[in-house]
């Protein structure tokens, strides 16, 4: 066997034995020998379960839980009930967080913001989102998202990994595992953490949110950083040029080949190819983050923050650049949405960070013909209460955590723009129509990638583990084009 | 299914030819395809049919029995799985499960042969099987006889023994996590005695490094880390437990005791300190104190984690499945789950961890005499407080009159205060009486603009290495005091939001000690570094730091507005009074009627400190007592332990669907019915559970344990699914060997060192890892052991190896976690602003070079060079690490400053050797290199030398990486070139792999 044959042999060997035997779901194995496009990219699935609509996804995650009542879920009825007690029949046994459990009453807190109809679809959007409103016909707004978790750490872990308890792989890792990479020079799954403008003590993030859990760690997200090396340890040490590194790697490879001759372990050959990939990344990643060749028009579209590394705008631009390079999955985190108080001061700061870049990202993808097969998702980990937390005035208020309903949107990747799905009651407190559990959201995302969420599984602890867990989950067909 | 299309597994499972083996061939098939609806879970059971029990399968049902022994064609099982009617066929198409024709054939043959039924193998207590004969003379011990017997059946032969250099490196890495030195390799090569191998094993097992390496595996299972894990992810002091595990491994504590002490050390009669520390095992789980979290919910989660971890680690059972419903595959009902849960449901621990480093129950590990001293000082302190309260109450009563005579000017200059700088009038040259044993308080008021990243406010006058420096930092919006000693420095850094342009008022206090917490920092009235977590970057003083440091004011007087020095520590009350003193004259002028209770207190405190000598004296004593108590507390290690509620007995409620607020029937502690029952008279608490786990007739514990230890040496266990011995787990590749080892282990007192010795003295272990393409194709994962194991070293071992061969490794043992190099900003990017681990401060000095087991582990952002190499994040129990091969790993080993620095020191180590290339390779690979390798390496070195000759600055740059300077004074070009060569060698597949 020559090297290429060996590597191919090795690759199939590792997929076949290394991973399959650790517990690929039975169903996914059924036709393992029919290798196709997925297999060529190193994914575990042998074939798509349904016709794929998306090749990549960009998740715009608003950590801290943005208020659906001030952004998306239009409840004019609440205005007349300002400061009235939320009826018990509406609250209906919903448990309270430790923060409002001792609050004596639960006064209705109508939004301060005006909502207007936008686009051909005429969907109501709050005035705080002027840019997102402009593209309302490109997106599908889901108003009936819901979860069980009522605190940040469990909730964000839940929506990302399908379980409130740490230890499971996140969506991006599942996609990497199932579908592999379509890019030779960049990681399959990238993570971007953004700076934010509201109060500083934003909810924390956790490495587990892009962790691979029980899946092999090659499926974990790679954080693209705005400080230091864009990818950890990417740069050669001072004094070591690219040319010198190349020569050093030639020496490494020569020694490794010699050792391979001696022992014959294909893992040694795999090491050679991984070092080569590392070397390629040393040029492909800096190219990725070099935005100097972006046109003024493009930069302008994303807004003035776009040239500041680490801002949400900058990260959105990078996400588009990654989509161009076929990075499978990009997760952008934006923190600071936990408005327990002072909402009308902090919310405008937060939307100031994200509104224009969200718009620009979707339009930029569209202009480049990438939106059709790039799924964009926007949401937080839960919603916020219809009743006020702390001091309540018409002008300012706070809202506690609310798991029973929240809003998010999807665009591109086979999503039907200009639609809304699901509805809540007059208080924006309970879902009254078409509930979408976060499991359903995940099932829908997988569906757009051509994956039946019940059939992407990994044998761990005796079970065929899935992103959507053991409860039933359904694809939200009504928002699909 | 799985085993039919995967040759490796097929090999393993079809080991015995001829009769169908129910446990290996039939049960997995039924389990995979049928148990989801026809298994142990009563809630999801369809048609009242279960196929996991013989009586149910063979009994008469309407429509005929499921299985008629000897008559496949009359068996409903066969009819249904072969039906072409979509409504009839099993499994139903919607489940996406499919039984292959080959499997149908197997099932038919099994029924035709009489449908022999067995209990699941892992639930039958192991018996010592007959050891197969070996007439070839290859076998060194029983292990080999089992391995060989199987190889013979497969028509394979063992590989020859690996060469001796390979062997000594393999055994040293496996037993101590460090490679042999060139001297050790040579000594072993020379040692031709027959006992050479066992002699080396003995030596390595007696080394203290042995426990440090073995403990690593256990700490993955114990989910050990240094932070709470959830939400704020604050520091948790837990390291005495880590050190306990290392010690237990080194002292070869028997596994049964090791088990009992960790699960129930606190419940042993007259439990020793060590036995209590051991119970930290179940305090390692992640906890929260998230605002709004519901305590009851988390208490359930903690108990669930403990049950599941206990199940995985000792029983290899995925009992967690039964949290919400009866287990679908294994005989653990939901009721039985909550009976296990009950063992852990009587803890005094609160649901919220308080974000504290010391969430009760904890124990403090006092040095002798310290506990008594603490009691005494506490009594004194209480007395002083009482006295002070008396004075202040008396004065308070007369305060309205007293203040009429209170000259507010006397309140302004504070006792012992020396002002060194005021606006525009900085003293040019001042002398500060500082030094070890001399407490002081330093007050600095300054402003920062946006323009600077880091500004030096003042510094010691002469350029010697010791003294005092104060910096401020606009990036972190903080300030820093550094007391530079002759062998390191103490620093305190404050990193809170100090807005540019606003005056910052910072107090630094130093109490005269040399430990990190002896300096503190106050931001105005807020004490910022109260926390036990030493998040300052420090070194212990090796020597003193300068006395009478001469200060030079570096920053402009405009920026640096005020510097005041006190040759004592101001108490917190004094600092608060200081901060408020400027408002006191105005308050007095306004008169008592305008005061609320806070303002009144402000005036009172200022009055007392300025006017009442007795109050000042007692207040100073109180401050001294408090500092003494703090000193004892901060220098006394503590660790988290288990403790039972005294006034309650363990019990639990079955929780419907596992939800904490859906309490159903009450249950008492108990063990699953499919396993041996608790001994009569055994306590129904954790102690009873622990004793039960290590009973000789427990079918699981010994098997699971020997399997995990086997896995440490061969990469994969005899049961590959080391955490799942249940029906859905993988069957053992060598069931007889597993049973023999398990029984032998118990018969010999659960002796772990002995078991390890058995493994590494076997011929199986000593085989060469060389493999042919045919054997790779036949047995890719080496499950038959026709060759020696070969796999990449774990993250910690790779780092330790690099430091060790470089001569950098600091083998100090035990103590708090250390924070070696890590790229900047990682903690900050994810951390909650108020977390005490939101800022990463690395250590300086020797702490950078400790063994990786001592690296501080923050769960929400673990050390990135470790996780890249598959170290788990320690949020949950892990009994088997994945091993991947990725470009990110290459980047770590190529570029991480830790590895570059190691390369630089390795270069220095060999630079004066006769043949530095050969010598360096020997250090890293533990063997001599051949001609071709020598050519490759020397060519590389020539290239590197040429490069650095042409660019000497580059050489200097490379040599500047890492803290520890080289002693070498010769040519930088030569050293840099050798550094690159060392980097090359440390990146070789061979260097980071066992062979």
Distance of alpha carbon A414 from alpha carbon A374, whole angstroms: 8
Among chain B residues, the shortest Cα distance to A148 is held by B659
- Answer yes or no: do A211 and B876 touch at CB < 8 A: no
Confirm or reject contact between B289 and chain A (CB < 8 A). no
- Answer yes or no: do B823 and A233 touch at CB < 8 A: yes
pLDDT at site B2: 33
Please choose, from the candidates B532, B304, B576, the residue with its C-alpha nearest in 3D space to the C-alpha of residue B414: B576
Tokens at B313, concatenated:
């680690």
Q: How far is A332 from chain B (nearest CA, A)?
A: 13
Question: What are the φ/ψ torsions at residue A373 (nearest 5 degrees)?
Answer: -120, 25
How far lies A438's CA from each of A74, A165, B234, B356, in Å?
A: 21, 15, 29, 33
B773 contacts in A (CB within 8 Å)?
Answer: 1, 264
| Distance in Å from the first CA to the final CA of chain A | 48
Chain A interface mutation, best of B989, B991, B994, B995, highest count of A Cβ atoms under 10 Å: B989
- Answer yes or no: do B497 and A267 touch at CB < 8 A: no
Tokens at B615, concatenated:
């109050």
Tens-digit pLDDT profile for residues B613-663: 899 889 889 988 988 998 898 889 999 999 999 888 899 999 998 999 999
Question: Does a structural domain hold residue A260?
Answer: no
Whether A309 shows a pLDDT value over 50: the answer reads yes
Chain A interface mutation, best of B656, B884, B952, highest count of A Cβ atoms under 10 Å: B884
Task: Report domain extents, chain B.
Answer: 2-118, 161-206, 254-358+647-698, 368-414+571-637, 415-569, 895-986
How does residue B118 score in pLDDT terms, banded at 50, 70 and 90?
Answer: confident
- Answer yes or no: do A281 and B9 touch at CB < 8 A: no
Whether B760 shows a pLDDT value over 70: the answer reads yes
Cis amide linkage into residue B361, ω under 30° from 0: yes
Tens-digit pLDDT profile for residues B839-884: 787 887 888 999 999 999 999 999 999 999 999 999 999 999 888 8
- Answer yes or no: do A225 and B890 touch at CB < 8 A: no
How far lies B95's CA from each of A26, B89, B92, in Å?
A: 11, 12, 6
Orientation angle between helical segments B897-910 and B795-805, nearest 10 degrees: 30
- Answer yes or no: do A165 and B96 touch at CB < 8 A: no
Domain carrying residue A168: 3-239+293-479
Distance of alpha carbon A144 from alpha carbon A175, whole angstroms: 25
B727 contacts in A (CB within 8 Å)?
Answer: 462
Whether B833 shows a pLDDT value over 80: the answer reads no
B944 contacts in A (CB within 8 Å)?
Answer: 244, 247-248
Q: Is B323 helix (H, G, I), strand (E, B) or coil?
A: helix
User: What's the mean pLDDT in B971-993?
Assistant: 97
**Residue A335 belongs to domain with CATH number:** 3.40.720
pLDDT at site B480: 66
Chain A interface mutation, best of B93, B890, B925, highest count of A Cβ atoms under 10 Å: B890
Chain B interface mutation, best of A217, A279, A315, highest count of B Cβ atoms under 10 Å: A217
How far lies B299's CA from each of A346, B204, B303, in Å?
A: 34, 43, 6
Distance of alpha carbon B401 from alpha carbon B394, whole angstroms: 12
pLDDT at site B801: 98
* Whether the complex's predicted ipTM surpasses the cut of 0.85: no
User: What's the mean pLDDT in B422-447?
Assistant: 74
How does residue B17 score in pLDDT terms, banded at 50, 70 and 90?
Answer: very low
Among chain B residues, the shortest Cα distance to A157 is held by B230
A401 contacts in B (CB within 8 Å)?
Answer: 292
Question: What are the φ/ψ torsions at residue B187 (nearest 5 degrees)?
Answer: -60, -40
B957 contacts in A (CB within 8 Å)?
Answer: 237-239
B820 within 8 A of B846, measured Cβ to Cβ: no
B955 contacts in A (CB within 8 Å)?
Answer: 239
How does residue B31 score in pLDDT terms, banded at 50, 70 and 90?
Answer: confident
B726 contacts in A (CB within 8 Å)?
Answer: 462
Residues β-bridged to residue B564: B419, B443
Tens-digit pLDDT profile for residues A352-390: 999 999 999 999 999 999 999 999 999 999 999 999 998
- Answer yes or no: do A201 and B233 touch at CB < 8 A: no
Fold annotation for B415-569: Jelly Rolls (2.60.120)
Provide the b/e sequence for B428-445 (b: ≥16 CB within 10 Å): eebebebbbeebbbbbbb
pLDDT at site B539: 43
User: What's the mean pLDDT in B167-196?
Assistant: 96
- Answer yes or no: do B939 and A238 touch at CB < 8 A: no
Whether A187 shows a pLDDT value over 70: the answer reads yes
A95 contacts in B (CB within 8 Å)?
Answer: 294, 661
Confirm or reject contact between B651 and chain A (CB < 8 A). no
Tens-digit pLDDT profile for residues A7-49: 343 343 333 333 333 333 333 333 333 334 566 677 888 889 9
Q: How far is A127 from chain B (nearest CA, A)?
A: 30
Q: How far is A121 from chain B (nearest CA, A)?
A: 37
Q: How far is B994 from chain A (nearest CA, A)?
A: 12
User: What's the mean pLDDT in B736-761?
Assistant: 98
Among chain A residues, the shortest Cα distance to B719 is held by A22
pTM of the model: 0.84
- Answer yes or no: do A267 and B868 touch at CB < 8 A: no
Dihedral sign of CA atoms B39, B43, B44, B46 in order: positive
Question: Does a structural domain hold residue A440?
Answer: yes
DSSP assignment string, B667-720: E-----TTSPPPPTT--SSHHHHHHHHT-TT-SSHHHHHHHHHHHHHHSS-SSS
Among chain A residues, the shortest Cα distance to B934 is held by A255
DSSP assignment string, B476-491: TTEEEEEEEETTEEEE
Q: How far is B962 from chain A (nearest CA, A)?
A: 11
The β-bridge relationship of strands B549-553 and B454-460 is antiparallel
A274 contacts in B (CB within 8 Å)?
Answer: 885-887, 889-890
How far lies B275's CA from each of A412, B259, B279, B573, B636, in Å?
A: 60, 11, 7, 41, 18
A286 within 8 A of A338, measured Cβ to Cβ: no
Minimum-distance CB partner of A216 among B727, B882, B932: B882
Weakest-pLDDT range from A74-78, B19-23, B210-214:
B19-23
Q: How far is A454 from chain B (nearest CA, A)?
A: 9
Question: Does a structural domain hold residue A282?
Answer: no
Tens-digit pLDDT profile for residues B535-556: 443 444 444 555 555 666 666 6
Q: How far is A36 from chain B (nearest CA, A)?
A: 19
Interface of B with A in 814-853 (CB under 8 A): 823-825, 829-835
Q: Calculate the dihedral angle through the C-alpha atoms of A172, A177, A183, A185, rounding to the nearest 10 degrees.
A: 90
Return mean pLDDT, chain A. 89
Tens-digit pLDDT profile for residues B337-374: 999 999 999 999 999 999 999 999 999 999 889 999 99
Tens-digit pLDDT profile for residues B282-337: 999 999 999 889 999 999 999 999 999 999 999 999 898 888 888 877 889 999 99
Q: How far is B712 from chain A (nearest CA, A)?
A: 17
Distance of alpha carbon B757 from alpha carbon B231, whole angstroms: 44
Among chain B residues, the shortest Cα distance to A276 is held by B887
- Answer yes or no: do A248 and B286 touch at CB < 8 A: no
- Answer yes or no: do A251 and B984 touch at CB < 8 A: yes
Domain count, chain A: 1
Interface of B with A in 745-764 (CB under 8 A): none
- Answer yes or no: do A207 and B867 touch at CB < 8 A: yes
Minimum-distance CB partner of B286 among A20, A166, A260: A166
pLDDT at site B352: 95
- Answer yes or no: do B900 and A255 touch at CB < 8 A: no
Confirm or reject contact between B888 and chain A (CB < 8 A). yes
Tens-digit pLDDT profile for residues A262-289: 999 989 998 998 999 999 999 999 999 9
- Answer yes or no: do B780 and A217 touch at CB < 8 A: no
Distance of alpha carbon B570 from alpha carbon B180, whole angstroms: 54
- Answer yes or no: do B860 and A237 touch at CB < 8 A: no
A256 contacts in B (CB within 8 Å)?
Answer: 988-990
Minimum-distance CB partner of B292 among A97, A239, A275: A97
Confirm or reject contact between B861 and chain A (CB < 8 A). yes
Return mean pLDDT, chain B. 87
A260 contacts in B (CB within 8 Å)?
Answer: 989
User: What's the mean pLDDT in B227-235?
Assistant: 93
Distance of alpha carbon B740 from alpha carbon B146, whole angstroms: 9
- Answer yes or no: do A227 and B956 touch at CB < 8 A: no
* Residues 6+ positions from B819 with CB-CB distance below 8 Å: B840, B841, B842, B843, B847, B855, B856
pLDDT at site B403: 84
Size of interface A-B (CB pairs under 8 A): 302
């Amino acid at each position: 066997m020559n090297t290429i044959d060996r590597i191919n042999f090795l690759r199939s060997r590792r997929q076949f034995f290394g991973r399959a035997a650790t517990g690929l779901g039975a169903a996914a194995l059924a036709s393992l020998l029919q290798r196709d496009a997925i297999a060529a990219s190193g994914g575990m699935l042998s074939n798509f379960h349904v016709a794929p609509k998306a090749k990549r996804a960009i998740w715009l995650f608003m950590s801290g839980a943005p208020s659906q009542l001030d952004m998306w879920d239009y409840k004019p009825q609440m205005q007349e009930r300002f400061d009235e007690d939320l009826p018990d029949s509406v609250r209906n046994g919903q448990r309270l967080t430790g923060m409002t459990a001792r609050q004596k009453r639960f006064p209705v807190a109508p939004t301060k913001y005006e909502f207007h109809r936008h686009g051909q679809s005429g969907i109501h959007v709050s005035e705080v989102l002027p840019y997102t409103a402009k593209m309302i016909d490109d997106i599908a707004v889901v108003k009936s998202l819901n979860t069980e978790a009522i605190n940040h750490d469990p909730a964000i872990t839940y929506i990302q990994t399908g379980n409130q308890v740490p230890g499971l792989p996140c969506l991006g890792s599942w996609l990497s595992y199932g579908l592999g990479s379509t890019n030779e020079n960049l990681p399959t799954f990238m993570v971007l953490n953004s700076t934010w403008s509201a109060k500083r003590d934003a909810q924390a993030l956790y490495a587990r949110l892009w962790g691979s859990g029980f899946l092999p760690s090659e499926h974990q997200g790679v954080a693209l950083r705005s400080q230091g090396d864009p990818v950890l340890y990417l740069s050669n040490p001072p004094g070591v040029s690219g040319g010198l590194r190349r020569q050093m790697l030639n020496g490494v490879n020569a020694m490794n080949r010699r050792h391979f001759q001696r022992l014959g372990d294909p893992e040694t050959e795999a090491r050679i190819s991984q070092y080569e990939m590392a070397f390629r990344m040393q040029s492909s990643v800096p190219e990725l983050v070099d935005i100097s060749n972006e046109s003024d028009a493009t930069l302008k579209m994303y807004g003035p923050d776009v040239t500041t590394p680490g801002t949400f705008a900058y990260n959105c631009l990078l996400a588009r650049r990654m989509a161009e390079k076929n990075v499978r999955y990009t997760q952008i985190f934006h923190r600071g949405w936990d408005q327990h108080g002072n909402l009308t001061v902090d919310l405008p700061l937060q939307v100031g960070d994200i509104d224009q870049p969200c718009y620009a990202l979707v339009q930029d993808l569209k202009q480049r013909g990438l939106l059709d097969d790039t799924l964009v998702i926007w949401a937080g980990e839960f919603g916020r209460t219809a009743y006020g937390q702390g001091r309540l005035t018409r002008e300012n208020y706070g809202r506690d955590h609310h798991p029973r309903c929240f809003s998010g949107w999807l665009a591109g990747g086979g999503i039907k723009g200009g639609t809304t799905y699901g509805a809540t009651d007059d208080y924006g407190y309970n879902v009254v129509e078409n509930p979408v559990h976060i499991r359903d959201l995940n099932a829908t995302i997988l569906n757009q990638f051509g994956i039946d969420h019940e059939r992407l599984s990994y044998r761990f602890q005796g079970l065929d583990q899935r992103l959507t867990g053991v409860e039933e989950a359904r694809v939200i067909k009504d928002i699909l084009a | 299914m799985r085993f039919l299309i995967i040759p490796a597994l097929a090999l393993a499972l079809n080991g015995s030819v001829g009769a169908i083996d129910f446990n290996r061939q039939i049960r997995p098939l039924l389990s995979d395809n049928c148990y989801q609806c026809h298994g142990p879970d009563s809630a999801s059971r369809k048609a009242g049919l279960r196929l996991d029990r013989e009586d149910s399968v063979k009994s008469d049902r309407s429509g005929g029995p499921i299985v008629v022994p000897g008559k496949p064609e009359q068996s409903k099982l066969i009819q249904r799985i072969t039906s072409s009617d979509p409504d009839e066929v099993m499994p139903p198409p919607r489940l996406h499960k499919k039984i292959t024709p080959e499997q149908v054939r197997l099932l038919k043959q099994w029924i035709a042969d009489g449908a022999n039924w067995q209990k699941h193998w892992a639930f039958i207590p192991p018996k010592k099987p007959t050891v197969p004969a070996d007439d070839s003379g290859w076998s060194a011990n029983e292990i080999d006889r089992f391995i060989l017997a199987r190889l013979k059946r497969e028509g394979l032969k063992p590989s020859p023994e690996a060469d001796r250099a390979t062997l000594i490196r393999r055994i040293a890495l496996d037993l101590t996590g460090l490679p042999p030195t060139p001297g050790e390799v040579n000594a072993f090569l020379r040692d031709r005695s027959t006992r050479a191998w066992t002699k080396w094993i003995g030596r390595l097992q007696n080394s203290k490094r042995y426990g440090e390496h073995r403990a690593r595996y256990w700490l993955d299972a114990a989910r050990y880390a240094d932070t709470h894990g959830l939400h704020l992810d604050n520091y948790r002091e837990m390291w005495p437990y880590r050190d306990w595990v290392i010690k237990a491994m080194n002292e070869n504590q028997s596994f049964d005791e090791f088990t009992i002490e960790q699960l129930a050390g606190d419940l042993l009669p007259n439990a020793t300190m060590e036995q209590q520390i051991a119970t930290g095992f179940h305090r390692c789980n992640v906890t929260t104190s998230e605002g709004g979290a519901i305590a009851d919910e988390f208490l359930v989660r903690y108990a669930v984690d403990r049950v599941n971890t206990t199940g995985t680690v000792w029983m290899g059972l995925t009992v967690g499945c039964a949290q919400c419903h009866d287990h679908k595959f294994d005989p653990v009902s939901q009721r039985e789950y909550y009976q296990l849960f009950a063992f852990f449901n009587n803890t005094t621990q609160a649901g919220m961890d308080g974000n504290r480093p010391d969430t009760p129950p904890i124990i403090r590990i006092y040095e002798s005499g310290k506990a008594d001293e603490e009691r005494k000082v506490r009594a004194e302190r209480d007395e002083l407080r009482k006295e002070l309260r008396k004075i202040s109450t008396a004065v308070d009563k007369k305060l309205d009159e007293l203040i009429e005579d209170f000259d507010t000017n006397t309140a302004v200059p504070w006792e012992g205060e020396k002002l060194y700088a005021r606006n525009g009038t900085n003293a040019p040259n001042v002398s500060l009486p500082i030094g070890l044993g001399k407490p002081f308080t330093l007050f600095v008021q300054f402003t920062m603009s946006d323009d600077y990243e880091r500004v030096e406010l003042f510094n010691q006058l002469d350029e010697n290495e010791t003294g005092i420096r104060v910096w401020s930092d606009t990036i972190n919006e903080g300030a820093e005091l550094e007391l530079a000693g002759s062998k390191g420095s103490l620093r305190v850094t404050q990193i809170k939001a100090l807005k540019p342009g606003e005056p910052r008022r910072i107090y630094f206090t130093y109490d005269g000690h040399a430990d990190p917490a002896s300096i503190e920092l106050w931001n105005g009235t807020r004490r910022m570094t109260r926390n036990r977590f030493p998040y300052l970057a420090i070194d212990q003083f090796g020597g003193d730091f300068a006395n009478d440091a001469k200060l030079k004011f570096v920053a402009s007087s405009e920026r640096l507005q005020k510097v005041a020095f006190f040759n004592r520590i101001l108490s917190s009350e004094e600092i608060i009074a200081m901060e408020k003193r400027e408002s006191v004259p105005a308050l007095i002028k306004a008169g008592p009627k305008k005061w609320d209770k806070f303002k009144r207190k402000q005036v009172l405190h200022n009055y007392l400190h300025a006017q009442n000598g007795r109050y000042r004296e007692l207040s100073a004593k109180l401050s001294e007592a408090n500092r003494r108590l703090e000193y004892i507390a901060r220098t006394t290690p503590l660790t988290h332990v288990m403790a039972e509620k005294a006034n309650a007995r363990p019990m639990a409620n079955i929780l419907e669907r596992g939800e904490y607020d859906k309490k159903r029937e009450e249950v008492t502690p108990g063990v699953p019915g499919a396993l041996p029952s608790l001994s009569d008279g055994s306590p129904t608490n954790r102690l009873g559970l622990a004793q039960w786990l290590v009973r000789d007739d427990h079918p699981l514990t010994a098997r699971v344990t020997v399997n995990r230890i086997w896995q440490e040496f061969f990469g994969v266990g005899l049961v590959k699914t080391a955490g799942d011995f249940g029906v859905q787990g993988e069957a053992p590749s060598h069931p007889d060997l597993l049973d023999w080892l398990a029984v032998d282990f118990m018969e010999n007192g659960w002796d772990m060192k002995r078991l390890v010795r058995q493994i590494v003295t076997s011929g199986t272990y000593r085989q060469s890892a060389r493999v042919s393409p045919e054997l790779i194709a036949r047995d890719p994962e080496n499950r038959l052991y026709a060759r020696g194991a070969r796999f990449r070293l774990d993250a910690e071992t790779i780092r330790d190896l690099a430091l060790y061969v470089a001569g950098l490794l600091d083998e100090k043992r035990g103590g708090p976690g250390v924070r070696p190099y890590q790229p900047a900003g990682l903690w900050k990017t994810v951390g909650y602003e108020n977390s005490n681990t939101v800022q990463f401060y690395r250590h300086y000095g020797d702490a950078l070079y400790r063994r990786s087991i001592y690296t501080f582990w923050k769960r929400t952002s673990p050390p990135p060079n470790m996780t890249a190499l598959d170290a788990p994040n320690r949020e949950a129990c892990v009994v088997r690490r994945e091993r991947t091969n990725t470009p990110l790993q290459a980047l770590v080993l190529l570029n991480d400053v830790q590895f570059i620095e190691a390369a630089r020191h390795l270069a220095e180590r060999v630079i004066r050797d006769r043949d530095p290339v050969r010598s360096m390779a020997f250090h890293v690979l533990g063997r001599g290199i051949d001609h071709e390798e020598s050519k490759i390496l020397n060519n590389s070195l020539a290239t590197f030398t040429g490069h650095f000759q042409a660019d000497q600055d580059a050489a200097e740059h490379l040599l500047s990486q890492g803290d520890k300077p080289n002693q070498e004074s010769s040519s930088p070009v030569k050293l840099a070139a050798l550094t690159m060569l060392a980097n090359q060698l440390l990146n070789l597949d061979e260097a980071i792999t066992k062979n």
